[in-house]
């Protein structure tokens, strides 16, 4: 196991790939190219296994198409779980294939539970403290509703090269309900800010790199004002930014998550996986069509983020908040 | 698929089994009876598959021992995920075996995500809207941090005989951090109370039975004052109560979750699964020893809960809060 601190591996990958693009693997069986579905059916008479085989082939296709552009893939575990054990078997193969192709793997499971069960999740997805599950990723997304003692079981893995991303402010419309509460009390800390402080505390004493700790934060790009504020409050925290593309945020919004042009991974799922469909509505595509469209979308996303980051870097050097942040760090 | 409303199935099961005992399946490989581990090893040279086989045998042993005492089993998904796909394959077999033995199955995954991913979790664990995953349970535990739109994708299943239990106030020490916030503002709604109102709203228009809707609440027994207050605030909501036994709560604490002696399922995991170890410290037990001890522990739990419920029923009839609640319902 590579025990280089997780943030060091992230920063090296961002430098090597010239951008922070993460490709979310949300393989929806009903949207896969028809030739892959047909190929799966020929392989397995059982529907679940046939679908799982097609999903695996699709994942490899996408990984081949983006492996030199993206920093990481982020398999969304729900899409594998809905296929039962054959889905999990394919997930293991996808994770292993991505790693061989030089990609980091962020398991997007938003797992959460109390002490001893959180330990089992840490074993499952970060591979520390138990037998190899076959599902070991570089990082796992986790939910903070249960509090600090539900995240602490992941910290031993964070001392050994792994990372977690704690949900802080999510990109969905109802994200505000609990996360921005109490919104109406001026000056009162919101739940998301409280979680942000938890993330800061959890990083204390853990191996850092480039000023970033291994406990990151999920901060949606669709609410840029939150991203900008949390970025100021958490300068030493890696952000994982969902919401790019299909969920409505563009590079300018995502750039709110950057510190001096970096420190954030930006995820796009559907906009890359199904770029063919968006670009050729109503026209069934082959596996090759999907792959070429996905690569094009990933390249455009990388370029757009680079432009926004450069722009943001200049803008920030002039802004009062960044000057304050810079002063406080010196 | 049985489309009888989930609360009707729960109430019928509680009546038939004469109590609300739920047995949590937390199969920890390091604590399984040695003869089962040995049996697994002889079956499979591969460690993961050997362990998974032993876990499956242990689950069947426990199910056989408690099926006429317990209402439901609650597999804790993390313990299966840590074994990779062979663990998920065994989980499918365990869920199917429990159903054949007349038990409800509550998948304890505390899943949570935004819209389209939550739909995939609903397909995976509640089996509505997609192919059969093999992992379809009667109910799933879900985490509310992402807000209403992350729970709504489970409601179509709740119209068709399934249930969810939303985490409201959990039993772990750090549960207070977010869930009781803001604790210091007298009169201000806490996050847990806000989630409680969300649960009430989500139940509107869904098929109910005995006054209970299919959207339940997870309310820990280790903080009885919260359980009692939430019980008053949510009279028409089924509670799933963890924390009995190993986590420190007894029948009297759990009884705070009852309405007129009912309306709550009470879970015990380690105290039942590993009752042999507690009763015979340091003495290795066989599978039969574990089974007999588990049955004894489940029977004692059922009797203790029945006594506490009867006592609570009488106490409540005298208490002002219950009289108020009774008056408000008439």
pLDDT greater at residue B115 or residue A113:
A113
Across residues A50-54, what is the average pLDDT? Answer: 97
Q: In terms of DSSP H, where are the helices of chain B? A: 6-17, 34-43, 47-66, 77-81, 84-100, 115-126, 148-151, 155-158, 176-179, 191-203, 224-233, 251-254, 270-273, 275-279, 287-318, 320-329
User: Which residues, in sequence order, are CB contacts of A47 under 8 Å at separation 6+?
Assistant: B131
Cβ-contact B214, B140 below 8 angstroms: no
The two tokens of residue B112 are 């949570």
Give the count of alpha carbons within 13 A of A58, CB side only.
34
- Distance of alpha carbon B176 from alpha carbon A145, whole angstroms: 10
Across residues A302-316, what is the average pLDDT? Answer: 77
**CA angle centred on B166, ends B160 and B168, rounded to 5°:** 155
Chain A residues touching B84 at Cβ < 8 A: 88, 92, 124, 132-135
The predicted structure's pLDDT at residue B46: 93
Of A77, A142, A62, A59, give the one whose Cα is nearest residue B117.
A77
Chain A residues touching B135 at Cβ < 8 A: 81, 84
B110 among known catalytic residues:
yes
Asked whether residue A198 carries a pLDDT value surpassing 80, the answer given is yes
Q: In terms of DSSP H, where are the helices of chain A? A: 6-17, 34-43, 47-66, 77-81, 84-100, 115-126, 155-158, 176-179, 191-203, 224-233, 251-254, 270-273, 275-279, 287-318, 320-329
The predicted structure's pLDDT at residue A312: 62
Helices A224-233/A191-203 angle, 10° precision:
40
Across residues A145-152, what is the average pLDDT? Answer: 97
- Distance of alpha carbon A38 from alpha carbon A93, whole angstroms: 20
Cβ-contact B287, B57 below 8 angstroms: yes
User: Which residues, in sequence order, are CB contacts of B241 under 8 Å at separation 6+?
Assistant: B218, B219, B220, B221, B227, B254, B257, B264, B265, B266, B267
Chain B residues touching A78 at Cβ < 8 A: 111, 113, 117-118, 120-121, 124
Cβ-contact A211, A189 below 8 angstroms: no
The predicted structure's pLDDT at residue B294: 98
A25-34, A186-195, B128-137: least confidently modelled range: B128-137
Nearest CB partner across the interface for A114, out of B135, B143, B172: B172
Nearest CB partner across the interface for A146, out of B28, B175, B194: B175
Of A325, A317, A274, A275, give the one whose Cα is nearest residue A300.
A275
Identify the active-site residue in B110, B162, B260, B329.
Answer: B110
pTM of the model: 0.94
How large is the ipTM? 0.93
- Distance of alpha carbon A304 from alpha carbon A310, whole angstroms: 10
The strand pair at A72-75 and A21-25 is best described as: parallel
The predicted structure's pLDDT at residue A309: 84
Q: Which residues of chain B have pLDDT under 70?
A: 1, 129-131, 312-330
Across residues A1-18, what is the average pLDDT? Answer: 93
The two tokens of residue A7 are 């943030």
Domain boundaries, chain B: 6-329
The two tokens of residue A110 are 């938003």
The string over B132-156, giving b where at least 16 C-beta atoms fall within 10 Å of a residue's C-beta and e elsewhere, is ebbbbbbbbbbbbbbbeebbebbbe
Min Cα–Cα distance to chain A from B72, Å: 19
Question: Among all residues of chain A, which has the CA nearest to that of B150?
Answer: A174
pLDDT greater at residue B221 or residue A30:
A30
Across residues A249-272, what is the average pLDDT? Answer: 88
Nearest CB partner across the interface for A178, out of B86, B121, B194: B194
Asked whether residue A272 carries a pLDDT value surpassing 90, the answer given is yes
Q: In terms of DSSP H, where are the helices of A134-260? A: 155-158, 176-179, 191-203, 224-233, 251-254
DSSP letter at B153 equals: G
The predicted structure's pLDDT at residue A86: 97
Contact between B81 and A171 using a beta-carbon 8 Å cutoff: no
pLDDT tens digits for range A90-111: 999 999 999 999 999 999 999 9
Q: What is the dihedral of CA A97, A98, A101, A105, to 10 degrees?
A: -150
The predicted structure's pLDDT at residue B223: 79
Contact between B82 and A145 using a beta-carbon 8 Å cutoff: no
Contact between B145 and A150 using a beta-carbon 8 Å cutoff: no
Strand partners, B14: none
Chain A residues touching B92 at Cβ < 8 A: 84-85
Q: How many CB pairs under 8 A join A and B?
A: 200
Quick one: fold of A6-329? Answer: TIM Barrel (3.20.20)
User: What does the DSSP assignment read for B13-48?
Assistant: HHHHHTS-EEEEE---GGGS-HHHHHHHHHH-SSHH
Across residues A173-199, what is the average pLDDT? Answer: 91
């Amino acid at each position: 196991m590579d025990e280089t601190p997780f943030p060091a591996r992230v920063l090296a990958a961002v430098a090597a790939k010239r951008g922070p693009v993460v490709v979310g693997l949300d393989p929806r069986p009903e949207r896969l190219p028809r030739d892959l579905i047909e190929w799966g059916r020929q392989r397995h008479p059982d529907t679940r296994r046939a679908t799982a085989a097609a999903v695996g082939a699709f994942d490899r296709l996408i990984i081949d198409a983006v492996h030199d552009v993206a920093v990481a893939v982020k398999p969304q575990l729900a899409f594998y779980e809905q296929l039962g054990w054959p889905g999990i078997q394919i997930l293991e193969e996808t994770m292993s294939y991505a790693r061989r192709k030089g990609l980091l793997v962020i398991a997007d499971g938003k797992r959460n539970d109390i002490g001893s069960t959180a330990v089992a999740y840490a074993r499952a997805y970060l591979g520390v403290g138990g037998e190899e599950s076959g599902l070991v990723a570089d990082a796992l997304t986790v939910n903070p509703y249960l509090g600090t003692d539900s995240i602490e079981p992941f910290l031993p893995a964070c001392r050994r090269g792994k990372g977690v991303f704690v949900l802080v402010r999510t990109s969905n419309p109802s994200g505000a309900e609990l996360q921005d509460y109490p919104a109406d009390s001026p000056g009162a800390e919101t739940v998301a800010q409280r979680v942000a402080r938890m993330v800061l505390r959890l990083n204390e004493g853990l191996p850092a790199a480039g000023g970033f700790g291994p406990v990151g934060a999920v901060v949606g790009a669709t609410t840029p004002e939150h991203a900008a504020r949390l970025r100021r409050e958490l300068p030493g925290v890696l952000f994982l930014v969902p919401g790019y593309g299909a969920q409505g945020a563009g590079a300018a919004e995502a750039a709110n998550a950057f510190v001096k042009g970096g420190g954030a991974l930006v995820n796009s799922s559907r906009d890359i996986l199904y770029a063919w469909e968006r670009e050729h509505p109503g026209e069934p595509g082959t596996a090759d069509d999907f792959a070429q469209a996905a690569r094009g979308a990933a390249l455009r996303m990388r370029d757009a983020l680079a432009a926004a980051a450069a722009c943001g870097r200049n803008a920030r050097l002039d802004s009062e908040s960044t000057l304050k942040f810079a002063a406080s760090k010196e």
